[in-house]
Amino acid sequence: MIAVLDVCGAMEILFQTPKMEKFNNIIVNASMRLSSDLYVPELTNVLWRYWKAGKLSADECSQYIDRGIKLIDRFIDSKSLWEEVFGQSVASKHSVYDLFYAIIARRYNGVLVTNDDELSKICDKLNIQYYF
């Protein structure tokens, strides 16, 4: 099985929330773990916000970012996806950023691992398998 991890799903694993065990099990047992190349800046920004809010130290954030990046085997170049993503974003009126992950799952016949409720609803409409 190919797993596609978005940052919402990664945060569940990194912060060891109740969904962590389920999500981590999928990631660990996947034959390949994919994500968009946008994952790294998005993950970095999310953790920067935790630092800015005073919830984590800069060192803790760096450790989470490093661990989050190591969850992925291969990053897919957003340049190769933008047309399909933009078209689907217009059709669904949903964030372009989120749809990069969904389109990777569709293209690679993978399973999207996300904690994004709106994105899971889009995946239902597009017949993209996901874990939420």
Instruction: Delineate the domains of the chain, giving CATH numbers in brackets.
Output: 2-131 (3.40.50.1010)
Identify each DSSP E strand in the chain by its residue range.
Answer: 2-5, 32-36, 74-76, 111-113, 130-131
The fraction of the chain above a pLDDT of 90, given in percent, is: 95
Q: What is the length of the chain?
A: 132
Per-residue pLDDT of the chain (132 residues; tens, 9 = 90+): 999 999 999 999 999 998 888 999 999 999 999 999 999 999 999 999 999 999 999 999 999 999 999 999 999 999 999 999 999 999 999 999 999 999 999 999 999 999 999 999 999 999 999 999
Q: Residue 29 in contact with residue 66, Cβ under 8 Å?
A: no
Query: Over the chain, what is the mean pLDDT?
Result: 96
**What's the pLDDT score for residue 19?**
87
Count H helices and E strands in the chain, helices first: 7, 5
Q: What is the pLDDT of residue 10?
A: 97
